[in-house]
Structure 1
Amino acid sequence: MFENGIIRADPMSHKPVELWKRYLKQGRVVEPVKTLRLNTPIYENKVRFVCISDTHEKMGQLLDSIPDGDVLIHAGDFTEGGDIGEVIKFNAEIGTLPHKYKFVVPGNHELGFEDGEIMSDQQVAGLNMLGVRKAYEMLNNCEYIVDRTVEVYGLKIYGSPWHPMQGYSFYRSRGSALLQKWNNIPSKVDVLVTHTPPLGHGDYNAWNKMDGILAGCAELLNTVEYRVKPKFHVFGHIHDRYGATTNGATTFINASSCDHKMNIAHPPIIFDIPLPYGHSKTPVETASVGSGSTASCSPSEEDSD
């Protein structure tokens, strides 16, 4: 719901199927979109984004099919259960990719990654042995983003892991609890990355019937359509709804790499955004860093990849 410039929790948020039917009657738009071929040339006047998600500890099987680009985005569930060995393996694998910038948002399967979350004794013992507090501290071949903005080439990317699937890391209930998280998203964002889909776009779940078949979040949809209005919204979580849709203003991309059987089944999805005026891909820019607002890999961090 959108009133007087403010997004409010919809009273029907906990009934996503009924709510989506109502939204469609009100004129909400969802149309399929063709995506670029993976061999599309990379242009100097455009920033090439390469999107993947839900690799579930099988990133190695996907490496050979990931095309080059300027920015790699992983929208969550890169492990199967947050195991330390899985994190180390993923970090090594993503480190072999040539992309100048690599941004990773965690998903519900990154157990133990949420700050303040109670971890198992095995996780705590393993982290203590390695001298780190959280497993995400071992991700030094990519930029880990949770509720913050990164800026590259003059384009702003915001990442957020929250979802309405109870019993997992980064869970918040539908309605006001999730809306509080989406309220942190700045209005001027070019690319939004979440783990969960918005209601009605790439969120139909035919397998384990999460929340009555539609798994997307109404408050996220309303935040995207009424306030943030990004050029692209990248997510995953619902494996068999891989692909792209649009509402006429934003392109929604479900970049899930695995199918519902946890097998790598879908190739990456790519898109381009024209370089903003005054920005160039050569030489490499030093990205701006701000507390709670914008941050990004510096050239020295990239060299460590």
Structure 2
Amino acid sequence: MRKFNVQTLISFAFIYSTLSFTFMGYSQVGINTASPTTTLDVNGGISLRESPVPLVVSGVNNNIDLSTAPYSVYRIVTNSQIPISIGSITPVPGADGQVVRLINTTNQDITIKHNYILGSSKILCPSETDLKLVGENSSVTLQFSKTLSKWTVLSYSKSTKKNHTIFGTENITFHNPQWSDIPGLEIKIRPLTSKVYVTYNLFGELSPNNQQAFGQIRLTVNGGPIANSEMKLNDSGYYQIALPMFPLDKKVDINGLMTIKVQWRFHGGGNIVNNPGNGYHHRYLSIYTDDVLIVN
């Protein structure tokens, strides 16, 4: 009778009465099949157990140590409100091909640092850029390469949306002839389609003290002004100004980072006032698209 590699048997410790095994030397194992065609051939589903104890992380550039008896799935929790990032993960000693899935169960975004310089077992992210797990229940699955001595990304959840709106909350009295960013009206996205539309809407008060005074508002993408997105304020009293469903097709770089902002400036005497705290002023910036990854 042929002898079997005991370590191989232990690594596939299933209840013997419910599973049928076929061993061909030391090379092939069949589970619920008498004719395995690969090193491991499973006729049925498999289960990857989750750690009963979540990983507690806080702060930036964390190293995660999975210990010598790791699980395949971990929930990430935090006890702080500061930004969270993961710089490296310590694999099992001698590991080659170890797989782990991390699930963000916090109410924050978690950044997976690409090739973090101080990481002991670094993570290589797609496109050589940091990967962000956006929002609760987003996740990433990683595999360790012994050859590279690093982790690579097998898959991750995109946490995409079709629209997104942010509101400015700071009370502002503004007077500056130079273009300036409007506080709170900034969205960073990675568009997954070429169709992106933007709307801005502001309601407040304009108090010029001469007829030549006026204000201007416009969109910018990655620091550059967008043609035909500019609107003018030149009447005293209350104002409401809106740019509805403005297309950004010519500025869209699919999968590239886009920073969309609203700017304003004011010429002549007086001020632009926008105080959301009073209950009736407001300002907001919205994007509409088929599929987009929200970065901020």
Q: TM-score, normalised by structure 2?
A: 0.21
- Name the structure where strand makes up a greater proportion of residues: 2
- Name the structure where helix makes up a greater proportion of residues: 1
Q: TM-score, normalised by structure 1?
A: 0.21
Greater RCO, 1 or 2 (C-alpha within 8 Å, sep 6+)? 1
